[in-house]
């Protein structure tokens, strides 16, 4: 049997469109026969490098207003819950560190979906340790032990290195999908394109060809 192609899924828990992708990527990848590498990271340092101290959706209000409406429509279309989180963007640091711990143990995908659902579906503040702890307990994990590992120096360093890797590879937003041959796709709207690319189905035509 041929080995399944792998696609890297880079996401930040504060990223609105990462929510949409996180909720549907596993089924889509399974259907396409593709394996996933879940890559939690922080957009903050990447935004800071181009002079932004908050989300571009806050810096550019017209684009921000549009994004919230678009997200509401897209969530309805995907039949997933949506409410606008306050504050926005949320502090995604602890979530990312915990997801890193989970990526060694097989529960990162489930944890990731739960964090996104609490944030964008239920309006809870994922910057609060108690919210993350609740999610971990709900997964049947020892929340205190996981949280302690998440804030340990090795995990912190690891997340910093991942941020440097993202920057070096040209990641500038989230979600970002990267195929094994290094092709990069940005945004929830490019999920299907990335999976097509990974399975070498590069000839798929648009719905409305010219």
Contacts to a second copy from residues 24-43, by CB under 8 A: 24, 27-28, 31
Kindly tell me the burial class for residue 187, based on how many C-beta atoms sit within 10 Å of its own C-beta (0-12, 13-18, 19 or more): middle
Specify the residue, 63 or 160, whose C-beta has the smaller distance to a second copy: 63
- Interface residues for a second copy in 65-124 (CB under 8 A)? 65-66, 69-70, 73, 77-80
Decide whether 26 or 128 has the Cβ nearer to a second copy: 26
Can 137 be counted among the known catalytic residues?
no
Cβ proximity of 10 and 174 under 8 Å: yes
Each residue 139-178 as x (binds a second copy by CB under 8 A) or -, in order, gives: -------------------------------xxxx-----
Task: Please tell me whether residue 208 binds a second copy under the rule CB under 8 A.
Answer: yes
The residue (of 105 and 204) whose beta carbon lies closer to a second copy is 204
Binding site for a second copy (CB under 8 A): 23-24, 27-28, 31, 50, 60, 62-63, 65-66, 69-70, 73, 77-80, 170-173, 184-187, 189-193, 204-210
Residues acting as catalytic residues: 15
């Amino acid at each position: 049997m041929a080995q399944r192609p792998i696609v890297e899924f880079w996401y930040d828990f504060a990223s609105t469109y990462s929510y949409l992708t996180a909720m549907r990527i596993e089924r889509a990848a399974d259907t396409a026969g593709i394996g996933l590498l879940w890559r939690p990271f922080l957009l903050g340092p990447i935004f800071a490098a181009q002079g932004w101290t908050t989300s571009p959706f806050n810096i550019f209000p017209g684009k921000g207003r549009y994004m919230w409406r678009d997200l509401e429509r897209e969530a309805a279309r995907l039949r997933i819950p949506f409410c606008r989180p306050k504050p926005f963007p949320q502090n995604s640091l602890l979530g990312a560190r915990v997801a890193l711990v989970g990526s060694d143990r097989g529960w990162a995908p489930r944890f990731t979906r739960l964090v996104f659902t609490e944030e964008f579906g239920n309006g809870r503040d994922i910057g609060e340790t108690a919210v993350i702890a609740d999610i971990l307990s709900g997964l049947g994990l020892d929340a205190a032990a996981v949280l302690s590992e998440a804030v340990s120096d090795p995990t912190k360093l690891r997340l910093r290195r991942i941020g440097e890797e993202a920057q070096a590879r040209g990641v500038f937003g989230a979600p970002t999908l990267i195929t094994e041959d290094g092709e990069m796709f940005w945004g929830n709207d490019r999920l299907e394109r990335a999976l097509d690319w990974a399975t070498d189905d590069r000839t798929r035509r648009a719905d409305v060809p010219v």
